[in-house]
Structure 1
Amino acid sequence: MTIATAKLSNPAVRALVAAINAGDREAFLGLLTPDATMSDDGSDRDVQEWIDKEIFSSHGHIEVRSESDGGLALVANYRNETWGEMRTAWRFTVTDGGKISRFETGQA
């Protein structure tokens, strides 16, 4: 079963998932702190390069299957034109101001 984006608990995570699925790079970046960091399968990556390659130039799409930790941890089916579809885990760190300062993803 998929959780509709509008039903995700955390507002910042909900907006980020919506930005990914809309292909809206500007909205995505607007949700991050200026010094946001990320990792993929345990390795830190350059945020700008990673999102261009894995999300926006390859038409990434995320279907959330479950959430935990107040909406800061997701398990989702993620697909893009490079890798196809895979089950992924996502974890977010959200500041008091509602911006995402770090996200981690990898295969679930």
Structure 2
Amino acid sequence: MTIQTTRLSDPAVRAFVAAVNAHDREAFMELLAPGATMADDGSDRDLDDWIDREIFSTHGHMEVDRESNGGRALIARYSNDTWGEMRTRWTFTVEDDGKISRFETEQA
């Protein structure tokens, strides 16, 4: 059963999912702390390159099935025009100011 984005527990993660699904790169970038990092399948990636390739140029979309760790860990069905749909795990590091300093994703 999908969790509605508006019901996700962590405000930063909720805004992250909303920005991905709205294809709003500007809102997405505003959520990130300066120098934010990310990893895909255990390997650090260039953040700007990855989000353009995996989210914004390919219509990325997240349907969240489960959350844990106070809403900072998600199991979601992620889809984009390149890969279709896959079951993914996302984890987020959110700083005291509410900005995301790191996110990691991998197949679940």
> How many aligned positions are there?
108
Query: 3-state SS of the aligned residue for 1:70?
Result: helix
1: CA distance between counterparts of 2:69 and 2:16?
Answer: 17
Shift of 1:45: 0.2
Shift of 1:34: 1.2
- Residue 2 of structure 1: aligned partner: 2
TM-score (norm 2): 1.00
Map of 1:1-108 to 2, 5 A cutoff?
A: 1-108=1-108
2: CA distance between counterparts of 1:99 and 1:54?
Answer: 21
2: CA distance between counterparts of 1:105 and 1:9?
Answer: 19
Q: Deviations over 1:28-71 (max 9, x none)?
A: 00000110000000000000000000000000000000000000
Return structure 1 stretches of 4+ with deviation > 3 angstroms.
Answer: none
2: CA distance between counterparts of 1:100 and 1:21?
Answer: 17
Task: Extract unaligned runs of 5+ from structure 1.
Answer: none
Q: Deviations over 1:66-99 (max 9, x none)?
A: 0000000000000000000000000000000000
TM-score (norm 1): 1.00
Quick one: percent identity of the two aligned structures? 71
Q: In angstroms, what is the RMSD of aligned CA positions?
A: 0.2
* Amino acid in the other structure paired with 1:20: V
